[in-house]
Amino acid sequence: MTAPALLRPTPLGSAAAPPIPAGQTLPRILSRLQAGERLLLSETWQHGQQLLEALDARLDLPGHGASFAERQRGQAIWAETSSRLLVPIRNHKVGVPGAPYIGFLAELYPEAPDFALPMVELLDLHKAWQHYHNGTPLAVLGRRLHPFYGTYAPTRVSHLELFGTWLSQYGGGRVEAVDVGTGCGVLAIMLAKAGFGRVRATDTNPNAIESLRRELERFPARPPILPQVADLLGDNPTLADLIVFNPPWIKGAVKSPLDQALLFEDGFFERFFDQAAGRLRPQGRVVLIFSNVLQLLLPDEPNPIEAELAQGRFRLVQKLSRKVKPPAGRPGPPRRTKERVEVWELALA
Ligand SMILES: C[S@@+](CC[C@H](N)C(=O)[O-])C[C@H]1O[C@@H](n2cnc3c(N)ncnc32)[C@H](O)[C@@H]1O
């Protein structure tokens, strides 16, 4: 079976937009972008950065004080307007002076050396390349993790630490575990380190599975992890001692494959619990990493785990909860948050 194509920003033809005329003023360029024109950067990378900063200031979108819905609307306006500023790619390299090296241009577009991409997508590709190439140290793993482009990677660690606490006192079977929605594989690697004989790691995002495959190649002795592009638990019928899921935490419309890391739609948790009930050994455990962020953002939305427990198919063994620590290295004073992360341990009733 051929592997599903990796997600990547859609390449545009090199002639997708006219070059910005030399000497055109910044306000004129911004007006053209706002009026719906696509423009191709022709001067330097720094000029592109300047244009995006000026566009951001001109759009003056809702900030932290605004509601979730207002911020989402603002983000949509930003995404649409900023994506009209294109940058030429020549021979798999950014084709303007002063641009950084982005190895993903060769990896993700092997068939097309010359094309154009929105500058905002290139900035994302560049950031992702740095994370992938340099790796990010993760104390819960005692090693660096190298998330591939387009893969959810943890930026905070409170929930991983809480899961580590739970895992250290786990006394059940360790033959077979499933890490549902593995992302860059952090939980699967924690499970393998904890001595599970086999860890099936699924994700619908092909880049996540590519990320984990590449990560496993970095180990001197390959951990017993089987990555697979699959919906939820996949179709392998083997019963599991432990099913772990760090699902999306916020209810919302999924508009792109990457939204699936953060947003869930109606029926998502019901499908997960239906599958988990059929794949768990009688003494097995389902563990969900969750948060009260849903309650904070959408107070009228029912908690999907409590809704499942009310059905009587699973019982709650324990729930751990801890305040969220702000991300390390964040500039400015710490922002106060009521956010808590949670580990829910469930067994068949
Ligand atoms: C919040 S991220 C968690 C990633 C990783 N397990 C971690 O803890 O860092 C949720 C992950 O679930 C994946 N996902 C969303 N819907 C899925 C589905 N129906 N089946 C499998 N994976 C899914 C997303 O692609 C994403 O990688």
Question: pLDDT (tens digit, 9 = 90+) per residue, 212-226?
Answer: 999 999 999 999 999
* Ligand 1 closest atom vs CA 152: 27
Give the confidence band of 74 by pLDDT, cuts at 50, 70, 90.
confident
The rounded Å distance from CA 203 to ligand 1 centre is 6
pLDDT of residue 68: 80
Q: SS3 for 57?
A: helix
Question: Nearest C-alpha to atom 7 of ligand 1 is from which residue?
Answer: 183
Q: Tell me which residues have their CB closer than 6 angstroms to ligand 1.
A: 152, 154, 180-183, 186-187, 202-205, 208, 231-232, 246-248, 260-261
The rounded Å distance from CA 265 to ligand 1 centre is 13
Q: SS3 for 271?
A: helix
The C-alpha angle 340, 342, 344, rounded to 5 degrees, equals 160
User: Above 60 in pLDDT, residue 187?
Assistant: yes
Tokens read off for 106: 């060769």
User: Above 70 in pLDDT, residue 152?
Assistant: yes
User: Above 60 in pLDDT, residue 332?
Assistant: no
Phi-psi region of 232 (alpha: psi -120 to 50; beta: other; left: phi over 0): left
Give the confidence band of 336 by pLDDT, cuts at 50, 70, 90.
low
Question: pLDDT (tens digit, 9 = 90+) per residue, 111-135?
Answer: 988 999 999 999 999 999 999 999 9
What percent of the chain is modeled with pLDDT above 70? 96
Give the confidence band of 300 by pLDDT, cuts at 50, 70, 90.
very high
Give the confidence band of 203 by pLDDT, cuts at 50, 70, 90.
very high
The rounded Å distance from CA 114 to ligand 1 centre is 33
Pocket probe for ligand 1: among 260, 273, 275, the residue whose CB has the most ligand atoms within 8 Å is: 260
What is the distance, to the nearest Å, from the Cα of residue 83 to the centroid of all Cα atoms in its chain?
20
The torsion angle over the Cα atoms of residues 106, 111, 114 and 120, rounded to 10 degrees, is -60
The model's pTM: 0.91
* Ligand 1 closest atom vs CA 258: 25
pLDDT of residue 255: 86
Domains of the chain: 26-132 (no CATH), 135-348 (3.40.50.150)
H or E element in which residue 46 lies:
helix 45-59
Question: pLDDT (tens digit, 9 = 90+) per residue, 256-276?
Answer: 888 999 999 999 999 999 999
* Ligand 1 closest atom vs CA 153: 9
The rounded Å distance from CA 208 to ligand 1 centre is 9
